[in-house]
């Protein structure tokens, strides 16, 4: 009888989830909300007042809107007013493309990253440019 109680106690302990489970980072590819094929585009991520994050697709007249929760963690650290992040963004559409509307996307990864800080009053009067060679940020 005592052995049965021990076995049942162990089974119960193994089945109970931890009190504070690690938060899961949202993945982009493979999400059921994705409405089309993922693609890579060269763009500039910036932060705008009242709109949040936007990615301008360089060379096109399109602006994409990523959910801040769907950005790679390291990009959240540099997203601020006056800071632009240029790079090759691998994104997946969460809404269909419509004329005159920003398309919602999630960001899978960013490579060939260049960060430009345009806050000269805080940086001695000149923009600071950092190129992150060989680094790719993944969601």
Q: What are 116's strand-pairing partners?
A: 84, 129
pLDDT digits (tens, 9 = 90+) for 5-62: 444 454 444 454 555 444 455 678 888 999 999 999 999 998 877 788 899 999 998 9
CB 106 within 8 A of CB 39: no
**DSSP tag of 68:** G
pTM: predicted TM-score of the whole model, two decimal places: 0.72
DSSP string, 33-47: T--S--EEEEEEEEE
- φ/ψ (deg, to 5) at 137: -100, 130
Paired tokens of 42: 């060269």
């Amino acid at each position: 009888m005592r052995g049965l109680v021990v076995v049942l106690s162990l089974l119960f302990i193994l089945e109970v989830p931890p009190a504070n489970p690690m938060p899961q980072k949202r993945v982009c590819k493979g999400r059921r909300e994705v409405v089309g094929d993922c693609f890579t585009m060269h763009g500039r991520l910036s932060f705008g007042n009242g709109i949040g994050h936007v990615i301008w697709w360089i060379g096109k007249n399109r602006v994409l809107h990523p959910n801040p929760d769907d950005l790679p963690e390291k990009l959240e650290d540099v997203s601020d007013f006056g800071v632009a992040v240029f790079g090759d963004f691998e994104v997946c559409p969460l809404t269909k493309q419509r004329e005159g509307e920003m398309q919602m996307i999630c960001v899978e990864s960013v490579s060939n990253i260049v960060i430009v800080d345009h806050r000269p009053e805080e940086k001695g009067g000149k923009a600071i440019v950092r190129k992150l060679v060989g680094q790719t940020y993944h969601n």
